[in-house]
Amino acid sequence: MAISLALILSISSLFPYLAKNEIKKPTASSKELTVMQANVFKFNFNYEPLLKQIEELQPDVIALAEVTPKWRDALLADLEKNWSYIIDHSQLGSHGMMIFSKLPIVNEETEYFSRKNIPTLFFSINWNDKDIDFVSLHPLPPVCFECIKSRDYNFDGIVEKVKKQTNNNVIIMGDMNTTMFSPSYKHFVNGLGLVNAREGFGIYGTWPVAFPSILRLPIDHILYSGDIKATSFQALPSVDSDHLSTIATLQ
């Protein structure tokens, strides 16, 4: 009986993510906001595929994780002209981050909720007369008990900070090192009333790329709340990272 109940609950948790909306290619439009997140992978030294992908898709806002100084130099050389609003927290190791935006960035803040070398980036943009608060994060993976505590402390810090903001339009994105089915994820999204941009478009496992698609875990997310709705969501073709990038169009 207990096994049957667990199976039913597991299957039911998949329903929101089953593809039922039309899958369309995100396109740049003044009426829609296109956001993209990617873990570039610190050991990936082939910069061109991701840069080409970004140039082709022309997202308005890009959140990148594992940005090393060498990645920063490659990104700036190619993107700075068209994505001229930039937050640079690149660093050696796994926790360098950068933001590229076509729209002016205001209210930029950086928090270190769990460890001094793991930044969480907060910033805002105005788009179509909407003020939108963004959060970009890349917490530790759940490979040990202390790592899980650190990741969840990161989630709790975001919830507490965002709740103090008066703006309800929020977009949170990044390699979050958790699937939609974990208690930590559910506690996080319930705390802020977040919607996963995947809902209605598919599960889209993103890591590890070396595994067959059916075995990949959906740990790279774009979440939102407020007067925003996802009109498309996709995981993108591999760019030699161990993660697939994700992109969503919102209106």
Is residue 188 a part of any domain in this protein?
Answer: yes
Model confidence over 58-86: pLDDT tens digits? 999 999 999 999 999 999 999 999 999 99
Is residue 51 a part of any domain in this protein?
Answer: yes
Model confidence over 132-183: pLDDT tens digits? 999 999 999 999 999 999 999 999 999 999 999 988 999 999 999 999 999 9
Model confidence over 97-131: pLDDT tens digits? 999 999 999 999 999 998 889 999 999 999 999 99
| Beta-strand runs (E) in 92-219 | 97-101, 106-111, 120-127, 130-136, 170-175, 195-196
Is residue 4 a part of any domain in this protein?
Answer: no
- Please name which of 162, 167, 158, 134 lies closest in space to residue 33, comparing C-alpha atoms: 134
Is residue 31 a part of any domain in this protein?
Answer: yes
**Cα dihedral angle (221, 227, 231, 232), rounded to 10 degrees?**
-10
Structural domain that includes position 190: 23-250
Is residue 12 a part of any domain in this protein?
Answer: no
- Distance, in Å, from the CA atom of 93 to the CA atom of 27, rounded to the nearest integer, reads 33
Give how far Cα 244 sits from Cα of 32, 181, 219, Å: 23, 19, 10
Q: Given this model, what pLDDT does residue 3 score?
A: 40
Is residue 156 a part of any domain in this protein?
Answer: yes
- Check which CATH number belongs to the domain holding 204 and give it: 3.60.10.10
Is residue 134 a part of any domain in this protein?
Answer: yes
Model confidence over 174-215: pLDDT tens digits? 999 999 999 999 999 999 999 999 999 999 999 999 999 999
Is residue 135 a part of any domain in this protein?
Answer: yes
Q: Given this model, what pLDDT does residue 6 score?
A: 37
Residue 10 clears pLDDT 60, i.e. is over it: no
Question: DSSP letters of 71-114?
Answer: HHHHHHHHHTTTS-EEEEE--SSS--EEEEESSPPEEEEEE-SS
Structural domain count, the chain: 1
Mean pLDDT of the chain: 92
